[in-house]
A and B are shown apart, each in its own frame.
Chain A
């Protein structure tokens, strides 16, 4: 069974600093996908970035990058030059190619950017 662990319930970061949100996962499958989503207080889940288990390069999308360490089963999200609008809940999720469930989510990290 797949499992996602996010060990940081909450983080305070100064505006313009870089921030790393931790995510470790557990799976016995060799082929899977890892995802990060942002959930503002409005509730909508916004897709940020995707990393495939066979991707050799770390994924990047604008200010977001994923630090993927397969052997350690970690997929940390890095946000560069944080902005006030980055304040939100952040969820790490995964899905196995061999599974027939939806996404498995971690419990999330509440990120607050301070001016």
Chain B
């Protein structure tokens, strides 16, 4: 069974540009989560999509946005890139249901570098 996939693996952008990151969940999973892992800041929850809807977002500005498609894959868009957006962006998928009982499985991540 295929795991969570993410593309691209690496992305280099300049300040002010837009970045688009993609994620395909494990087959049968309807929930997709996005996390940011920036140096010195640890892993922070960014966005949660389930059944095509945004369920919640973490403490990030509106220039971080995304969507979930009918096939449950997801896209994360970061507009007006800033240097501090440089980070590893991890996508995870889960099978929904009880929040505390849902194991999230992660993809390999996209390393975004903003110059």
Q: Which residues of A contact B (CB under 8 A)?
A: 29, 31-33, 35, 37, 42-47, 50, 52-53, 91, 93-108
Contacts of A106 in B (CB 8 A): 42
- A32 (CB) vs chain B CBs: closest residue: B100
Q: Which residues of B contact A (CB under 8 A)?
A: 33, 35, 37, 42-43, 45-46, 48, 55-56, 58, 88, 90, 92, 98-109, 111
Contact B103 A50 (CB under 8 A): yes
Q: A100-B55, A101-B45, A105-B42 are in contact. Are A31 and B100 (CB under 8 A)?
A: yes
Contacts of B104 in A (CB 8 A): 35, 47, 102-103
- A42 (CB) vs chain B CBs: closest residue: B108
Contact of A43 among B55, B56, B102, B111 (CB under 8 A): B111
Contacts of A50 in B (CB 8 A): 103
Q: A45-B92, A107-B42 are in contact. Are A101 and B56 (CB under 8 A)?
A: yes
Contact A97 B109 (CB under 8 A): no
Instruction: Tell me the smallest distance from the CB of A64 to a CB of chain B, in Å.
Output: 14
In whole angstroms, what is the CA distance A47 to B104 when docked? 8
Contact of B43 among A52, A95, A105 (CB under 8 A): A105
